[in-house]
Structure 1
Amino acid sequence: MLTLLDTAKAVQFGNPLINISIFAVFVIATMGVVISVSRNADKKAAASFYTGGGAFSGRQNGLAITGDYLSAAAFLGVTGAIAINGFDGFLYSVGFFVAWIIALTLVAEPLRNTGRYTMADVLSFRMDAKPVRTAAAISTLVISFVYLLAQMAGAGGLVALLLGIKSTIGQNLVIVVVGAIMIAYVLIGGMKGTTWVQMIKAVLLVTGATVMALWVLVYANFNVSHLLRDAIAHHTGGEAILKPGLQYGKDWATKLSFISLAIALVTGPSGLPHVLMRFYTVPTAKEARRSAVWAINLVGLFFIVTFLLGYGAIWLVGQNTGGMGNTLIAGAPGKANAAAPLLALQLGGEIMMGIISGIAFATILAVVAGLTITASASFAHDIYNNVLKGGKVDAASEVRVARATSVIIGILAVIGGIFANGQNIAFLISLAFGVAAAANLPAILFTLYWRSFNTRGSVWSIYTGLITSVVLIAFSPAISGDKSAFFPHADFAWFPLTNPTIVALPLAFFMGWLGTVTAKNKADKALQAEMEVRSMTGLGAGEAIVH
């Protein structure tokens, strides 16, 4: 087994030839898949670019949903969060998994049955379309951008670790390369190519993480108590890593931040546009349910595995060295995000580290491609076609706008990723979850389940949740006033919590109700009845609604 000194050398110098070769294999192979599966696709058809023609089976879409949901935050971020903060980090796994159950139970199938391409199709179904589509599209773009920050930060830290790049300029160049590959995936393959990449990546990620977890158990003689005991011995927090409060138990603000984080983790995925958009890629409601079953099983398995990976990283990365595993991880390029690759290095050397990191890199590429398609579809379909052009733009022109938007989004994601480099990506994702929960979830639930809900209520709810969550994040310790903040040397924070959901989500629900009951124009009963039939039965799903 490698010692801490060996590991430190690997972190600093690595084996660039091995690592870059493995990366190149993953990129070339996945790009080949994208080109192959997209060869016969209609490049000008909106359905092909946005939803892959709705031709995927439940099993295929289940794998793709798993790939979309298990982002770099799930693998690198959660493993790192556990390695640094123990039990508090594992709560990310619990929150992500419970959230998936809520999304499937309340949102996924009715949304799939009612919409065509985007979340805004559903929210505007029985409303005055233009203001609701505008609000939903703006929300989608903001959430996608915040989510992209996390993936780009993960890419910079991961490649910096593998190639021994410590300079800020070098890590920023890595982020630029990731952005370029992401744009290529989207422009060449659209949703069809991206979905196949997601399927491949899901299989690789779940398999790779499971193999690592079993390997950790082999070292622990399949005794979890042994694993936890040795993890305690190799963490600066000692027994505190098995109890809540190491990260979120310092004072009332951190405890309340934890409650807010928990709410965000559980409710956020139900408002994530790129995950919800996945359900438009299957032809029937039955296949949507099948895909949900596949996804829930794979996601559940994965998050059980992260428990073993996180505590295994604490123990094995710092074992037999006189050092502490979490200290080494925190000081590595990529910081907490380096925990999983360093654990792979301890288990199987540089080849294993390169393979696992290559899988993580493929994870990042696939997720950012999915996010980019979602954001570009929202702008082209919702804002450009339906708001600015009144729905009169032909499909080919709309797709051209979507492709151009993909390039712009990619450039913005690169710029944002440079600023986010070095942040824990699980934490960054929790911020995206907070915005998604507050901006989208109240409007989605009200639209699907409250017959009286109307245009004013929808617009008030979306803008209130979006603006409140973004403003509170901007003036929170997550951005300034803390050594782990985006701007650690500045301090303009006045909101004491690191996550805004505990304030923004209830306020968005309240404003949705207030806007509805104070509006003079009541809900359209005929459209409400049609939406209810579609959402519950799937009849007429995928057909446009004409107001």
Structure 2
Amino acid sequence: MTAFSGRTQTMSLVAFSAVATVTLLLCVMTGPDHDDLDEFYTGYGSLSPLRNGLAIAGDYISAATVLGTGGVIALCGYDGLVLALSTALSLMLLMFLLAEPLRNAGRFTMGDALARRLPGRCVRVTACVVTIAALLPLMLVQLAGAGQLMAFILGFSDASLKTACVVALGALMIAYAAIGGMKGTALIQILKIVTLVGSGAVVAVLILRRFDWDPGALFSAAARQSGAGPAFLHSGLEFGTSGRSRLDMIASELTVVLGGACLPHITMRMYTASSARQVRRSMSWAVSIVALFVLVITVVGVGATALLGRGVIAGADPQGNTAYLLGSRAAFGADVSMPETLLFTLVTTAIFLTLLASVAGMILACANSLAHDVFAARVREMPPRREMALARVSALAIGVPTILLATLVQHHSLQPLVTLSFCLGASALAPALVYGLFWRRYTRGGLLATLIGGTLSVLLLMPGTKLVSGSPLAAFPHADFVYFPFTTTGIVTIPAGFLFGWLGTLASGRAKAEQQRRQYEAVEGWILAGAVRRES
């Protein structure tokens, strides 16, 4: 059941080629026609709330979410469900707390939002460095996983072919970002999320039909096939049941909730809304779509365990990254008709699109920050044509090293890289945004302390976690240099990020804090209410 038929592989290859060609043409057709920064960076805010919401959801649901979360649900049951719910909760946090102030304070990048009331080139450069540091690991995961996934679907095992897949997909993603800009990548995200949720919903319905539309029967069968019995439906399979294990679980979910909402490729979508009302409506659509996908991935993940058993899933991939595909294939039964083959091809195409769209959005966020916050900020008035050229060159400058690094890490466990990105989002970017948008006395020294201190604390502790060494599924399974016995760094680095910001502001002195308070109060109503977008 883990091997796909020749017909399925052929149809998938044809579909992948067609999708790559069509999406690239769409990027060319919808890309900026003129040397206009607003068109390249935001698409003129021309997307309707529904389309912008679809694009936000598309950016938010990465291949790591689809494959990784689906695997945790299939192998660990209850713990995976909590992870999936945390994913949805993170976007709700963005909607209720940060979306409108971000849209009002920012223009193109994270650096814009932070430098609006705390100006300075050092702020923009630091924001750019943290943006790249937070997104580079996720890009590596998507690209490195692409070769493995293509090999699994198409049935080849040659290492050079896997590397060729990584290079080819990476080049395609660079082209999406450089040619399409915000509007072009948004179109790819919309196509991706509609295909992913639509095909997944059909598969979920087929799985429920196999169990006579009884979710209780589905979960009971999954518990029997999990090898853990009733424990599959209770907390503890992923982290354990000790006090430290429960603390580790809480820290991991908190990292997902805070980190996912603040990653720059998600927050940049807030700037594409033309008004505060539009961003509220866009986020409502995005949260609804992500909630629907969480329901879909839960049914498919649990269904994979119920229909195939833990042994088959873990045998195909020890971390369960192929569980979503295996569950989709198992939903059709042993004999697959032509319509069912077409539907499964749609599922594999949706995963392929997810890989393409996710990295394209991240490359665009990094390239925009590099061009706008580092290079364009050096001169008072850079011509739009030159800044757009810099953004496109920056996409190449970000993408090529990412491809090379992805070819080097593709044979290692990629989970530490996913965790690293979310830890940086939760420990550096989240405190900076919360303080920067809501704390009147927050100073530039406090902001730099938050970004630098939060980032360095994560980079210091992450190599010592259990994901890097000390276990068979770690990145270095034959080594053991664990000095921080948790899965994520969040239990220490999230409070540390907020503490660094407070101490940095305190160290700036009372006079500086009072000056920042007066400056903030002058624009507070505009940042929080945002009646009019201010250009810069």
Normalising by the smaller structure, the TM-score range is over 0.9
| Change in CA separation of 1:201 and 1:296 when aligned onto 2, cut-off 3 Å | same
* Partner SS, residue 406 of structure 1: helix
Note the C-alpha offset of 1:493. 2.8
Note if 1:177 corresponds to 2:168. Answer: yes
Equivalent in the alignment of 1:537: 529
Note if 1:519 corresponds to 2:522. Answer: no
Note if 1:444 corresponds to 2:433. Answer: yes
Equivalent in the alignment of 1:321: none
Note the C-alpha offset of 1:67. 0.6
Equivalent in the alignment of 2:488: 499
Note if contact 1:271-1:441 (Cα within 8 Å) is conserved in structure 2. yes
Note the C-alpha offset of 1:241. 1.2
Q: Deviations over 1:73-97 (max 9, x none)?
A: 2322211111111111222111111
Matches within 5 A, 1:367-446: 367-386=358-377, 389-421=378-410, 428-446=417-435
CA distance in 1, matches of 2:114, 2:242: 40
Matches within 5 A, 1:67-466: 67-249=58-240, 251-316=242-307, 318=308, 325-332=309-316, 336-348=320-332, 349=336, 350-386=341-377, 389-421=378-410, 428-466=417-455
Note if contact 1:182-1:368 (Cα within 8 Å) is conserved in structure 2. yes
Note if contact 1:345-1:352 (Cα within 8 Å) is conserved in structure 2. no
| Change in CA separation of 1:155 and 1:391 when aligned onto 2, cut-off 3 Å | farther
Note the C-alpha offset of 1:492. 2.9
Note the C-alpha offset of 1:334. 8.5
Note if contact 2:45-2:272 (Cα within 8 Å) is conserved in structure 1. yes
Note if 1:528 corresponds to 2:517. Answer: no
| Change in CA separation of 1:423 and 1:261 when aligned onto 2, cut-off 3 Å | farther
Note the C-alpha offset of 1:518. 1.7
CA distance in 2, matches of 1:529, 1:340: 50
Letter in 1 for 2:209: V
CA distance in 2, matches of 1:377, 1:536: 25
Note if contact 2:442-2:517 (Cα within 8 Å) is conserved in structure 1. no
Note the C-alpha offset of 1:377. 0.7
| Change in CA separation of 1:373 and 1:517 when aligned onto 2, cut-off 3 Å | same
Q: Give the counterpart of 1:37 among 30, 33, 45.
A: 30
Letter in 1 for 2:397: I
Note the C-alpha offset of 1:14. 7.8
Q: Point out the more displaced range, 118-127 or 456-465.
A: 118-127
CA distance in 1, matches of 2:159, 2:278: 46
Equivalent in the alignment of 2:10: 17
Note the C-alpha offset of 1:482. 2.0
Give the gaps of 5 or more residues in structure 1: 1-6, 319-324
Q: Point out the more displaced range, 492-501 or 94-103.
A: 492-501
CA distance in 2, matches of 1:232, 1:537: 49
Letter in 1 for 2:320: A
CA distance in 1, matches of 2:412, 2:80: 15
Note if contact 2:240-2:246 (Cα within 8 Å) is conserved in structure 1. yes
Note the C-alpha offset of 1:61. 0.4
Q: Give the counterpart of 2:42 among 29, 42, 51.
A: 51
| Change in CA separation of 1:54 and 1:245 when aligned onto 2, cut-off 3 Å | same
* Partner SS, residue 263 of structure 1: helix
Note the C-alpha offset of 1:426. 7.1
CA distance in 1, matches of 2:110, 2:88: 22
CA distance in 2, matches of 1:503, 1:460: 16
Q: Give the counterpart of 2:19 among 26, 29, 38.
A: 26
Note the C-alpha offset of 1:423. 6.7
Q: Point out the more displaced range, 514-523 or 436-445.
A: 514-523
Note the C-alpha offset of 1:296. 1.3
| Change in CA separation of 1:260 and 1:418 when aligned onto 2, cut-off 3 Å | farther
Note if contact 2:225-2:305 (Cα within 8 Å) is conserved in structure 1. yes
CA distance in 2, matches of 1:429, 1:113: 30
CA distance in 2, matches of 1:425, 1:87: 22
Q: Deviations over 1:500-540 (max 9, x none)?
A: 11100101101101111121333434531343122122244
Equivalent in the alignment of 1:4: none
Q: Deviations over 1:114-137 (max 9, x none)?
A: 111011111111224222212211
Note if contact 1:161-1:334 (Cα within 8 Å) is conserved in structure 2. no
Note if contact 2:470-2:476 (Cα within 8 Å) is conserved in structure 1. yes
Note the C-alpha offset of 1:199. 1.1
Q: Point out the more displaced range, 245-254 or 141-150.
A: 245-254
CA distance in 2, matches of 1:165, 1:449: 53
Equivalent in the alignment of 1:322: none
CA distance in 2, matches of 1:56, 1:124: 26
Note if contact 1:158-1:334 (Cα within 8 Å) is conserved in structure 2. no
Give the TM-score normalised by structure 1. 0.91
Equivalent in the alignment of 2:473: 484
Letter in 1 for 2:104: N
The share of aligned pairs that are identical, in percent, is 33
RMSD: 2.1
Letter in 2 for 1:210: A
Note the C-alpha offset of 1:367. 1.2
